[in-house]
Amino acid sequence: MPLRQHGRKARFIMSVKIIGTGSALPKLQVTNADLEKLVDTSDEWIRERTGIRGRHISTGETLVSLTAQACAGALENAGRAASEVELLLVATCSPERGIPCAACQVQSVLGAQKAVAFDLNAACAGFLFALNTAYAYVEAGIYRNALVAGGEVLSKIVDWTDRGTCVLFGDGAGAVMVEKCDKGGLLGFVQHSDGRKGEVLRCDSRELKNPYVSLPMEAPYVQMDGREVFAFAVRRVPESILEVLEQTHTDIEEVDLFLLHQANRRIIEGIAKRLSVDISRFPTNLDRVGNMSSAAIPVLLDELNRQGRLRPGMKLVLSGFGAGLTYGAGVMEWQ
């Protein structure tokens, strides 16, 4: 069993691995041609600028129903029962309710009564931050396992008259089940936040209105400076990937696949170029599902898992980035 030095005390360290994945998408598929009927846009513009051809949009599916479905899939894939789950984390920036948190609602649907459940919002880096949180809890021995989900119904916070944003996003949820293992699994994470740049991608939640004041909401729907977000992602994501590779003593050539937040094909191409890594090692699904914020990485992971494209021993890099601004990366050995 590996020994790791923490301060002056050495202690035995277990590893944490993903043992199951799941995902769920709304039934309705909306193509770029469909959006041409709503706003002044074209299939050609959307494809060339973003790589997106379609996305799934809720016609009644909720964040809780999609996330619970994804979690049920991860449990089934892992061969575990909901009653065994000890920690349930939901990363989301589009919950149905302020209270109770989405994780408690998902817990109720699943019947995961033993689980401690709470939400985490780090926008498009949310799933990565939640996975690192679960890793810390499980690796520290506080919980034996965790169900970690990223879910979004962004269609309710997008301005459907704004062609600059409504063409980019989709709804969906993904989840993974993690538990302790002897070696391999999750190898390390880096996380960063830069609140100074928060204004470039924002969505206000509720106006301040009480008997003493009534302040109108400035941005009730998603507002984005696309160019700023683009420049931030292409600069900061490669830095964080190199940082986590160094931290985990992983050579970039050892990495089989880079699973990045699925925001824009051109962002992913820019990151691959900066890292001098062939684009074939960056699997994508954004052409079919658009940008699903915190759901993007776990849905992609589940698709690859169910397609049999993840083999034991493969090294994967995950990287999320988005509003906050937040960004980070993790390295894992698939088992």
Compute the distance between CA of residue 132 and CA of residue 330 in angstroms, rounded to an integer.
Answer: 8
Binding mask 252-271 for ligand ACO (x = CB under 6 A): -----------xx--x----
A 10 A CB-CB count for 288 gives: 16
With the C-alpha atoms ordered 17, 129, 259, 319, is the resulting torsion angle positive or negative? Answer: negative
Size of residue set near ligand ACO by CB under 6 A = 23
Per CB under 6 A, the list member of 229, 295, 318, 329 interacting with ligand ACO is 229
CB 292 within 8 A of CB 199: no
Least separation in angstroms between CB 59 and ligand ACO: 22
Per CB under 6 A, the list member of 89, 275, 323, 332 interacting with ligand ACO is 323
Site for ligand ACO contains 220 (CB under 6 A): no
Per CB under 6 A, the list member of 85, 167, 190, 332 interacting with ligand ACO is 167
Binding mask 59-98 for ligand ACO (x = CB under 6 A): ----------------------------------------
Catalytic annotation present for 124: yes
Site for ligand ACO contains 50 (CB under 6 A): yes
Binding positions for ligand ACO, 280-319, rule CB under 6 A: 291, 293
**What is the DSSP track for 59-78?**
SS--HHHHHHHHHHHHHHHH
Residue of 32, 71, 104, 261 with catalytic role: 261
Least separation in angstroms between CB 23 and ligand ACO: 17
Least separation in angstroms between CB 282 and ligand ACO: 15
Tokens read off for 327: 């960004």
The span of 131-139, 183-191, 222-230, 302-310 binding ligand ACO (CB under 6 A) equals 222-230
Least separation in angstroms between CB 164 and ligand ACO: 4
Least separation in angstroms between CB 128 and ligand ACO: 12
Pairing of strands 116-120, 87-91: parallel
Tokens read off for 69: 């479905």
Compute the distance between CA of residue 199 and CA of residue 190 in angstroms, rounded to an integer.
Answer: 23
With the C-alpha atoms ordered 302, 307, 308, 313, is the resulting torsion angle positive or negative? Answer: negative
Least separation in angstroms between CB 36 and ligand ACO: 9
Is the CB of 155 or the CB of 248 nearer to ligand ACO?
155
Distances (CA, A) of 212 to 19, 216, 218, 232: 52, 14, 19, 40
Beta strands in the chain (DSSP E): 3-6, 9-12, 15-24, 29-31, 54-56, 87-91, 116-120, 145-152, 172-181, 185-193, 201-202, 208-210, 213-215, 223-224, 257-260, 315-322, 326-333
Compute the distance between CA of residue 296 and CA of residue 55 in angstroms, rounded to an integer.
Answer: 12
> Active-site positions?
124, 261, 291
Interface positions with ligand ACO (CB under 6 A)? 41, 45-46, 49-50, 123-124, 163-164, 167, 201, 224, 226-227, 229-230, 263-264, 267, 291, 293, 322-323
